[in-house]
Amino acid sequence: MEIRNYQSSDEQGWVRCRVLSFLDTAYFDNVLKEKEQYENPAIELVAVEDGQIVGILDIEYEMQEGTVCSRGTGLGGMIWHIAVHPDYRRRAIASELIRQGEELAKKEKLNRLEAWTRDDKWVHTWYEKYGFQQVDSYLHVYLEGEKELKGNISSSFLKLYPVQTFAHYLGDQKDSIKKRFKRVHDCICYEKTLK
């Protein structure tokens, strides 16, 4: 396996790897049709084996404090994507991606990494294994159908009727929200200080 910088010719393999990697997670419906482009500099790595992209890591980082990360002080990097193709899991690919990503982040004088993820326990365990700590959370709420939307979401445009909504809940009534709506995910921020 080779880990190297992402190249524009990798885009199709990157997208395939990300889609397949996310299918068995709480982000199963977060499908991208093309690779994201970042406003700020980014560390973009791919793992290649058997001629295909089998792992990805994207870290967009700050040149000015507070422009990418949502918390902390000093310059940080946001892990937007870290994923391994399901057929290549349990081969330490993600471990090597994060190790090399951290080395590059330190060279850029970043003092921390931040990552947001949903409520997949195995993902939480992975982040914690590599020294990340949970520092914040809020809810991702999906409202679907008349029963969930009525009285909660409406449109000010005549004859425009919402049929589904994705929302963030930042309040302190999380249990009430989880009981009220069928699909709710904890969105959890993990942070690691780089030394």
Ordered structural domains, the chain, with CATH: 2-130 (3.40.630.30), 139-184 (no CATH)
Reply yes or no on whether the pLDDT at 71 is more than 90: no
17 token code pair: 């790897």
Reply yes or no on whether the pLDDT at 161 is more than 90: no
Give the model confidence (pLDDT) of 21-50 as tens digits. 999 999 899 889 999 999 999 999 999 999
Give the model confidence (pLDDT) of 42-66 as tens digits. 999 999 999 999 999 999 999 999 9
Global model pTM greater than 0.85: yes
Reply yes or no on whether the pLDDT at 73 is more than 90: no
Give the model confidence (pLDDT) of 99-148 as tens digits. 999 999 999 999 999 999 999 999 999 999 999 999 999 999 999 998 99
- Counting every residue, how long is the chain? 195
- The reported pLDDT for the residue numbered 195 is 86
- The reported pLDDT for the residue numbered 168 is 96
164-169 β-sheet, strand order: 2-5, 42-49, 52-61, 76-84, 112-117, 183-193, 133-144, 164-169
Reply yes or no on whether the pLDDT at 180 is more than 90: yes
